[in-house]
Amino acid sequence: MGRRHPADPHSRADARGLGVFAVATVLGAEEFGGDALIESLQDSYGSGEGALFSAQEFAEMTAAAVQNECLGDGWVLPTWGLTAARAGRLNEVDFGTLCTVRNVLAVLVQSSLPLRLASRAGLEDPALQHVERARAQSPRLRDYLDCAASVSRRPPAEAWKGFIPLLITICTEPGRLEAFQGDVTALDPALDDVQDLGRRALARLAPASADVAPCMPIQH
């Protein structure tokens, strides 16, 4: 069997949820409705130990999504908006804690490209294997890594649009901030030398790219 990619679905329910999001990306969210999209999110992240959101939070998201649609505001993920309640909770977070979370998320974002390269190169590296095991065991950590990877693909001027909502979510979701240290500590010490991992991945990928080049058909 081939190596399982870390982003592959971790269950049949997760695969169904990812399928709905994939089709919605092409056809548009309005073809499904906010309630159906949130239900697919719940399929992926709403059950089992370490579920991303509680059943109550999913119910609140569904109600808010339906209300937004009725008002013609379109579909958004309500949990990532800075509501008045979230702003109040954010004001209660110690500034040092906020900076610590920001710094940890920055490390995850900066590590995303080396990890992608190492996975693409098929490196049998203990650090990469450690990350894959950790993400497979924790839905929250998998979400953080996926969000960080998404942020890392954006141009620098756009990256904050993904980074800031993630920071706000962690610092304002009940119980999320308390669990954050344990979630990310599961990665230790895999990211200590992740840049070297990326360099080794590039070294492996570069010869492969050079070998492919002469095989390209000549255009006349």
pLDDT digits (tens, 9 = 90+) for 130-175: 999 999 999 899 989 998 998 898 887 778 878 888 888 898 887 8
Give the sign of the dihedral formed by CA 178, CA 18, CA 112, CA 106. negative
Q: Calculate what percentage of the chain has a pLDDT beyond 70.
A: 58
Give the sign of the dihedral formed by CA 165, CA 177, CA 151, CA 12. negative
Flag whether pLDDT at 198 surpasses 80. yes
Name the range with the highest mean pLDDT among 23-37, 70-84, 154-168: 154-168
Instruction: Please list, in sequence order, all residues whose beta carbon lies within 8 angstroms of the beta carbon of residue 129, skipping any fewer than 6 positions away.
Output: none
Mean pLDDT of the chain: 74
pLDDT given at position 162 = 82
Q: In the chain, where does DSSP find H-type helix?
A: 12-27, 34-45, 55-70, 84-91, 95-121, 126-137, 139-152, 156-172, 176-185, 194-212
